[in-house]
Structure 1
Amino acid sequence: MDYISTRGKVEKCGFIDAFLMGLANDGGLVIPSEIPQISEDKLKEWQSLSYQDLMLEIFSYYTNDEIPYEDLKKLVYDSYSTFRDPAVTPLKQINEQLYVLELFHGPTFAFKDVALQFMGNLYSYVATRRNEIINILGATSGDTGAAAIQGVRGKEGIRICILHPHQKVSKVQELQMTTVQDDNVLNLSVKGNFDDCQQAIKELFADIEFKQQYHLRAINSINFVRILSQTVYYFYAYFQIAKKQNVGKINFSVPTGNFGNIFSGYLAKQMGLPIGKLILATNENNILERFVKEGIYMPGDFHSTYSPSMDIQIASNFERYLYYLNNKNADKVAEIMNRFRTEGKIEFGPEDLAKVAQDFVAEGVQGQQCLNVISKYDKDYGYLFDPHTACGVAAYETHSGKDEICVVFATAHPAKFNESIALVDIKQQFPAEITQLFDKQQFQTVIDNDKQVLVQQLEQFFA
């Protein structure tokens, strides 16, 4: 398996080099040169596998045996030994049509743990094997930062700096990041929004001299290994249902702001998993909904919402889908992205929009609707959703037919977003690990939204 860039100006490379590159050196995103096809017979074989063994099978199509099998097996099993449920991502049935895949059983109670526990261990493995110092730089709208820090804190040869928007994440998200005291961790709280943080990160990764001088590596969803790790739970969810009943295609409703979690589903579908609809759920920051429904990709006004991890206007993974939408024409992708940088929008014609409609449906869920869903399902089913998952459920109600089975991704434990839960007069019991955070000292540096200030912080930390 070779890895290439969506913009076509990077030489082909292998799995580990693609992992270390993160953002492609031409400013594009790393993708596999071909998407492997999984036969129906192979899918049936995989139904009985544990989560860990399923991941090993899927990764075998992408790693080129660059990691010896026993080493990869140890990385996978070690990564999920920290999860509170032996199934890693247990599936819960709500009613005849609706299932919830709980992705929040990792150390930080959010779906990002599923990929980032593995990626943290993989970075440590590569650092040791290549005798390299690895400096991880990332931006977060809340959950990625905590999961990434938890994945690499205290590990020799690795340092991590995470940017998050100042006072625009939930209190628990902030505490999970900023109560970590390890010397290899730096938290920067930026006076801006997530898009400001992400733009700064992309500019620094695009500065090849700076990137190479400080050995910068990416851990958020611009890194393809994060995308690949997330495909595993699509397969796993499907198999859990298929083992109980005869099913054809299954819908997935996915809360997403950066297009990464749902692009993993697109990848799984292209590999051969029988997915019906990929339902893209977002909030008032609905650039992705407008793209799917209207064929216009253009940032709107920023909104602070009850589901802050989706308070994103520019979706980092959109370019990966753009590559396939344009029939793998890297030159055209580069042209479109350059035009987007100068004009601030991309418009798609009827032919493209028809293709998009075959791949996705979308719903931007408003704040009160999100709260209503939380209240309704708590009352009717005794199941408490976090606000992001509630957006996914609202989108399921709109777009999944009464005779269709749908899996909604529960992307976070409700305790991470009690500010929203409290608005519907529900008192929840916090897990002990979260309760303890409120008594800990915080370690963070608040900075202006200024690239030079950021560079100075990084030069001091990574020196």
Structure 2
Amino acid sequence: MRYLSTRSEPGHGLPFCDILLEGLAPDGGLYLPEHYPQLTEQTLTEWGALLASQGYPAVAFEVLSLFADDIPAADLRAICERAYAPEVFGDPVVPVTALSNDLWLAHLSQGPTAAFKDMAMQLLGHLFEYELARRNQTLTILGATSGDTGSAAEYAMRGRHGITVFMLSPQGRMSPFQQAQMFSLDDPRIVNLAVEGVFDDCQDLVKAVMNDAGFKAAHSIGAVNSINWGRVVAQVVYYVVSYLRVRASTGARRVSFAVPTGNFGNICAAHVAREMGLPIDALIVATNENNVLDEFFRTGIYRVRAGAAETSSPSMDISKASNFERFVFDLLGRDGARVAALFGPGLRETGAIDLHATPEFGALRKRYGFVSGSSTHADRLATIRAVAASDGVVIDPHTADAVTVAGDLRSSIDGPIIVTETALPVKFSATIVEALGREPERPAAFEGIERLPRFVTDIPADAALLKGIIDERLAELGR
């Protein structure tokens, strides 16, 4: 399998392990495989039996081997077994729970930081360490987080040989629990930087550094945000697994997915799974008040906002969806020149991409399965209460966004709808208390986390200053 940039034409692609250690492609685009491998009914039947007998790591190996064929099979299998071991995620990995109205909840928050980001990050940590050892190289990870990516990345990368992490987050925009998870890590190779502004400012800083080819090469800078294809392909696995689990429980051959998303990374993996032939009917894009993606799928216009509103589902407080380019590349027939014009000078000059009058926009539902909706704080509270009352399950506010939108669209979608869980409710306890009048259950591992010392530096949104901090810390570490 070879990979190309969304801003280039088909040609000589790169192998998986080469793009694994990069973020953006040199032309500013995002990497995608030259083609999507295709699944058959026989494959899904075999994988269902494999899941029942050997569990999640075995299916992860089967899926990932389609995309990472430059890693020897024995090595890739061992990586999957370590990443998804019972002591990391429990057993089974990604169980599903039936909710009312033929909804199913895919539990993705059983990892070390209680968020779905662990599902990809734990694998990525092992992949990075493996490939760096093969090449005798080091890696500097630069990332931005609106909530859960940061802690998931730091917990997955800490202690990994040859890896240093610089993680940007918006000052005061994450929940106290999310901040505590990140900022309590006391490790010279984990550097937390709280940026004045919103998540989009953090993301812009990452892109500014990534676009400085000399600086990026000098410090071997890579990414763990979902601009990294390794993150996306790891998430494809849990769409396959949750589909197989619901199929085994209901006999349904087709399902839909409702995905809370702000950066389009999670649902991009669902799109990839559908393009591979996983029998998915609708892909439900669920946003909060920052409804940039919902607006596009309703109107055909992608319009970047001046800034993201602060909401009670903060991990989706994003006004620039960095993974959206991957889908547009597929939507426009993989026309790299057209994508480069739209996301390069076009987006910079107008702040918008208008596809509403194109024939491709008309294919969003029929060809690609996309529908969308958004929800408000009041909707989230009502949904959390309703699910707790009807099903005895407490969900976090991001998952509540997805349940809300799935309910709004239920009459137009047949069959089971699988909602992808975002995080354990304890990460957003203030909203749970407001909805239910009680604190959510707190796993013992997280007791007292907010009282731990904090290791974080506040900085302005200044790319030159950020580069200076990276230079200084790496020099101290002998890098």
Q: TM tier, shorter chain?
A: over 0.9
SS at match of 1:400: helix
| Residue type of the alignment partner of 2:114 | F
Determine whether 1:362 maps to 2:375. Answer: no
SS at match of 2:4: strand
Superposed CA deviations along residues 384-429 of structure 1, whole A, max 9, x for unmatched, are 0100000010011011337521100111000001121121223222
SS at match of 2:256: strand
* Greater Cα offset, 18-27 or 105-114: 18-27
* Other-structure match for 1:73: 77
Superposed CA deviations along residues 8-29 of structure 1, whole A, max 9, x for unmatched, are 1785210100111221111000
Contact 1:140 1:162 in 2 (8 A): yes
SS at match of 2:174: coil
Match runs of 1:62-461 below 5 Å: 62-64=67-69, 66-81=70-85, 82-95=87-100, 97-300=102-305, 301-338=307-344, 339-350=346-357, 351-358=359-366, 359=368, 360-401=370-411, 403-424=414-435, 425-461=437-473
Superposed CA deviations along residues 243-279 of structure 1, whole A, max 9, x for unmatched, are 2332131010000010010010010001010001000
SS at match of 2:140: strand
Superposed CA deviations along residues 155-204 of structure 1, whole A, max 9, x for unmatched, are 22110110000100011111111111112110000011000000110121
2 CA distance for matches of 1:68 and 1:78? 16
SS at match of 1:210: helix
Q: Cα offset for 1:285?
A: 0.4
| Residue type of the alignment partner of 2:449 | L
1 CA distance for matches of 2:302 and 2:25? 22
SS at match of 2:167: strand
Superposed CA deviations along residues 229-256 of structure 1, whole A, max 9, x for unmatched, are 0011111111112223321310100000
| Residue type of the alignment partner of 1:311 | D
Q: Structure 2 unaligned segments of length 5 or more: list them.
A: none
* Other-structure match for 1:6: 6
Q: Share of identical aligned residues, percent? A: 37
| Residue type of the alignment partner of 1:23 | L
| Residue type of the alignment partner of 2:35 | E
2 CA distance for matches of 1:102 and 1:261? 14
Q: Cα offset for 1:357?
A: 2.7
1 CA distance for matches of 2:253 and 2:244? 11
Q: Structure 1 unaligned segments of length 5 or more: list them.
A: none
* Other-structure match for 1:54: 59
1 CA distance for matches of 2:451 and 2:341? 51
The number of residues matched between the two structures is 462
* Greater Cα offset, 170-179 or 299-308: 299-308
2 CA distance for matches of 1:20 and 1:155? 14
| Residue type of the alignment partner of 1:70 | A
Contact 2:3 2:15 in 1 (8 A): yes
SS at match of 2:266: helix
Contact 1:172 1:434 in 2 (8 A): no
1 CA distance for matches of 2:431 and 2:107? 19
2 CA distance for matches of 1:283 and 1:22? 27
2 CA distance for matches of 1:279 and 1:83? 29
SS at match of 1:222: coil
SS at match of 1:73: helix
* Other-structure match for 1:43: 44
* Other-structure match for 1:33: 34
1 CA distance for matches of 2:239 and 2:441? 29
